[in-house]
Structure 1
Amino acid sequence: MALVKYKSTTRKLKGGLAVESQARNFKIVMDEPETLGGTNTGINPVETLLCAFGACQTIVALAFAQSQNINLQDFWVDVEGDLDPDGFMKGAPGIRPGFQEVRFTMHIKSNSSEDKVQAFQKFIENRCPVSDTLSKGVAIKPGKIVIEK
């Protein structure tokens, strides 16, 4: 199968740090909490990243449970990450602006055997595109700058 291109556009909103991102016909608002200079009108981009990670794992579980012979009665993922704001806010030397570590816990409600559920967990981790992108990295290639007048 050929590569599929995904696209999004993010624009600033009036005042503060709030932004609106759009992919296909769907929009989300992101902002920073007031303690980081925002107006707290939405979750922030790093929280969105954690949500995308958990959502991707959940969607993989839902999409493949039947083919993996898992009787999936319920599923959710708790995700957390550690980030030092000094890396982002102050550009402090030696401190990454991004997450130092991301941890997650899958909650799988199923009457399938423990061995099958553990194998399914590994399957989910191996098939989740967001997990793959975060754990293995991806090339970031800046495009040209378009100066609007």
Structure 2
Amino acid sequence: MADKTYKVTATKGESAVVTVQARNHSIVIDEPAGQGGTDMGMNPVELLLSSIASCLALTLSIYSEAMGVKAQNIEIGVEGLIDSAGMKGSRKASPGLKKIQVTVNAQSNVEPETFQQVVDLVLLRCPVEDSVAHGVAFEEPIVNIRQI
């Protein structure tokens, strides 16, 4: 199967508001009011965690069905721990997430051990989780400047 390219464009608005466009869809990203934003949407870290959770939920639905395992009322919780000192410039802390914890809740027709096997396969097949867990190469940014 050939490689597939995904593309989004983020446009900075007023305050901390950023609108992200993908295909014909858009989402508003913002910071909480106490952190310089207007709380009109999730912050970027919450959006990253949401991407992991939604990809895991969809992948779990697909693979459980393919394996003949009923999975209903799927709820994926994703929690990330971050040291805010890193975002504020401390050299003693990384600005990125330190760890991520995933919790899977669902109803199923199989024993927990069997369902865990499905979840283990999902963790191997989910592209968003894999990208975050194993890293991805970042190319040098292309910077285009227009004079104001």
Determine if the TM-score, normalized by the shorter chain, exceeds 0.5: yes
Structure 1 CA distance for aligned equivalents of residues 70 and 98 of structure 2: 35
Q: Deviations over 1:74-133 (max 9, x none)?
A: 211111111122211x21112111111110110121011223211101011111111100
Among 126, 130, 135, the residue aligned to 2:128: 130
- TM-score w.r.t. the length of structure 2 is 0.95
Bigger mean CA offset, 50-59 vs 65-74: 65-74
Runs of 4+ in 1 over 3 A off after TM superposition: none
TM-score (normalizing by structure 1): 0.94
AA of the residue aligned to 1:85: S
Separation of aligned partners in 1, 2:66 and 2:142: 44
Contact 2:86 2:95 in 1 (8 A): yes
Matches within 5 A, 1:1-149: 1-13=1-13, 15-88=14-87, 90-149=88-147
Task: Give the number of equivalent residue pairs.
Answer: 147
Instruction: Look up the SS of the partner of 2:45 in the other structure.
Output: helix
- The whole-number CA distance in structure 2 between the counterparts of 1:11 and 1:140 is 20
Residues 80, 100 of structure 2: 8 Å contact kept: yes
Using the TM superposition, give the Cα deviation of residue 143 of structure 1 relative to its aligned residue in structure 2, in angstroms: 3.0
Whole-Å separation in 2 of the counterparts to 1:114 and 1:38? 42
Point out where structure 1 has 5 or more consecutive residues left out of the alignment.
none
5+ residue gaps in structure 2?
none
Alignment RMSD (CA, Å):
1.1
